[in-house]
């Protein structure tokens, strides 16, 4: 069945991030969570223990941005203002918009395909312009963020939701994600998949190439 829609992940696909092992090299920025832990002068384990519950609930929209900030700032013994500033800088240091892939996405749209976004985000990552450029996001036919719909990948329900919004059958969609475990539920539903590693690998993929014929 002909592909009619391409669904993109954001982090690691439409926005390129530095891998954790590269981020630890000298003269390279720390990862997002490592950066925050270092700024607050606490261990990474202590940091994750402090944000765990609120962070998880924020990704699935169980708690509001306000409650997320109150709980995490309290646990980390910092102010909400400083927390927002630190996360903003951490995301800025670790992500850059994948302009080349966005360009191809909009080219596909002009050729008649629907383009969509399916991404796990929490209230603070959603504010990062290096991760999510709203001017670009607004050009997509369908956008599904986990924090807005109350579920996250790899829950099969979130894939069914985006199919419903696209008004297409699974076999008519292609999903591109950089994590294998996020692709498996989509594949089981019948959605075509590509595991993203980098632009070159994607552009050489047979399924991707077939879109432009």
Non-local (6+) Cβ contacts of 136 within 8 A are 97, 102
More confident residue, 175 or 28: 175
Helices and strands, counts by H and E, the chain? 12, 7
190, 201 in Cβ contact below 8 A? no
Q: Where in the chain is the domain with CATH 3.40.50.1000?
A: 5-17+96-210
CATH of domain 20-95: 1.10.150
pLDDT band, very low/low/confident/very high, at 82 (cuts 50, 70, 90) = very high
Poorest-pLDDT segment among 46-60, 62-76, 116-130, 141-155:
116-130
pLDDT at 99 over 60: yes
74, 88 in Cβ contact below 8 A? no
pLDDT at 183 over 70: yes
Q: What are the C-alpha distances in Å from 80 to residues 36, 63, 87, 94, 190?
A: 13, 16, 11, 21, 43
pLDDT band, very low/low/confident/very high, at 27 (cuts 50, 70, 90) = low
pLDDT at 28 over 50: yes
Q: Where in the chain is the domain with CATH 1.10.150?
A: 20-95
CATH of domain 5-17+96-210: 3.40.50.1000
Reduced to 3 states, what is the DSSP secondary structure of residue 176?
Answer: strand
**Would you state the pLDDT for residue 23?**
43
Among all chains, which residue has been given the structure tokens 């475990």? Answer: 181
Q: State the Cα angle at 208 between 141 and 196, rounded to 5°.
A: 85
Pairing label, strands 15-17, 95-97: antiparallel
Distance CA 188, CA 191 (A): 7
Is the alpha carbon torsion for 208, 117, 184, 92 positive or negative? positive
pLDDT at 25 over 70: no
**Would you state the pLDDT for residue 129?**
80
Please give the model's pTM, rounded to 2 decimal places.
0.91
Distance CA 189, CA 171 (A): 8
Strand boundaries in 59-154, DSSP class E: 95-97, 114-119, 142-145
């Amino acid at each position: 069945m002909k592909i009619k829609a391409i669904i993109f992940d954001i982090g690691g696909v439409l926005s390129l991030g530095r891998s954790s092992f590269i981020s630890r090299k000298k003269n390279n920025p720390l990862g997002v969570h490592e950066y925050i832990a270092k700024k607050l002068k606490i261990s990474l384990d202590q940091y994750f223990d402090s944000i765990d519950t609120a962070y998880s609930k924020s990704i699935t929209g169980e708690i509001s941005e306000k409650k997320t900030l109150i709980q995490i700032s309290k646990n980390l013994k910092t102010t909400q203002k400083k927390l927002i500033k630190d996360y903003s800088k951490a995301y800025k240091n670790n992500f850059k918009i994948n302009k080349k892939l966005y360009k191809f996405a909009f080219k596909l749209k002009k050729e008649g395909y629907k383009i969509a976004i399916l991404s796990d985000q929490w209230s603070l990552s959603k504010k990062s312009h290096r991760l999510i450029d709203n001017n670009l996001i607004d050009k997509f036919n369908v956008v599904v963020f986990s924090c807005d719909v109350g579920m996250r990948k790899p829950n099969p329900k979130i894939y069914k939701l985006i199919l419903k919004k696209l008004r297409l059958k699974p076999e008519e969609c292609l999903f591109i994600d950089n994590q294998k475990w996020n692709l498996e539920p989509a594949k089981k539903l019948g959605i075509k998949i590509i595991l993203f590693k980098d632009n070159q690998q994607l552009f050489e993929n047979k399924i991707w190439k077939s879109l432009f014929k």
